[in-house]
Amino acid sequence: MRAIGIDLGGTKIAAGLVDLDTGAVLRRTIIPSEGDKGPQVVMDRMADAARQVMEGKIVGVGVGAPGPVNYQGVVLWTPNLGGWKNIPVAPEMERRLELPTRADNDANLAAWAEYRFGAARPFASFFYLTISTGIGCGIVLNRQVWRGHHGWAGETGHMPVVRQGRKCGCGSYGCWETVASGTAIGRAGSEALGRPVDAKAIFQLAAQGDAEAQKVLDEAIDYVALGLTSLQKNFDLEAVIIGGGVSRAGDAFFIPLRQKTLGYLRHMVDEVIILPAQLGEEVGIIGAAALWT
Ligand SMILES: [Zn+2]
């Protein structure tokens, strides 16, 4: 069985033809999303991208959107694409492509892709986090994505964790992603070092023994651990899988994160399972197609 997966991002649309037995992406394309031209143009472009990769019999189309999506396949809003408020993306794509279409939030789909084909295969219940410019979260409970009452469960990056904290892209203040994302590491690093640096540079400097960079990392990783601890104290799931740019730092991120999280949870457990995601850049395409598994 094959399905088309469409990964809608702030600047680009990636589409792929996916083998649903193996998760392999058989054909792929990436085009600019031209988000400034509004949702109708973006959806026309998504349909074009899907047609470019279409081949053979297809069970359906899946769309991953960079924002919360309700049970009718309506994108409620997105922080990164202008004019996307209450856009019925699944029905609109079904009409354009004349194929059954499902849609969900991109982090939910990445969680599902890791469950079907990646690092989360051994687990029935887990958190998936993507930590990069922001923090996305997908929750799989008993082998199903938990989408919540309205469909927007997992807006975990916007849990308030700092009282009177920094303003977030969502309009609120002190959200988790304002202190624990790649963007937050870059900003804290730039302030500490007095010159513009990104999260990758901070990891590199810390690896070279730079004490200021190490301090910035320690604080950010501590905030990641605090958030994970809150999640686990509520849900007690089997594992946490982490993808996104920050996870590519490898042991420099995961080893202190496990230590700090275990430190906070030590009176309850003597082990925490926090693993890097296995699927790479194509996780969005694979997850969207896997809506049909
Ligand atoms: Zn926020």
123 CA to middle of ligand 1, Å? 29
Instruction: At 184, give phi and psi (nearest 5°).
Output: -65, -40
Residue 190 sits in the same domain as residue 65: no
Helix (H, G, I), strand (E, B) or coil at 141: strand
pLDDT in tens, 222-242: 999 999 999 999 999 999 999
Residue 104 sits in the same domain as residue 165: no
Identify the CA nearest to 225 among candidates 278, 141, 161, 147: 161
141 CA to middle of ligand 1, Å? 24
Residue-level pLDDT at 79: 76
The answer to whether residue 83 scores a pLDDT higher than 90 is no
Residue 96 sits in the same domain as residue 24: yes
The answer to whether residue 272 scores a pLDDT higher than 90 is yes
Confidence of residue 211 (pLDDT cuts 50, 70, 90): very high
Contact 6, 50 (CB under 8 A): yes
Residue 44 sits in the same domain as residue 131: no
183 CA to middle of ligand 1, Å? 13
CATH number of the CATH domain containing 75? 3.30.420.40
Residue 34 sits in the same domain as residue 132: no
203 CA to middle of ligand 1, Å? 24
Residue-level pLDDT at 169: 85
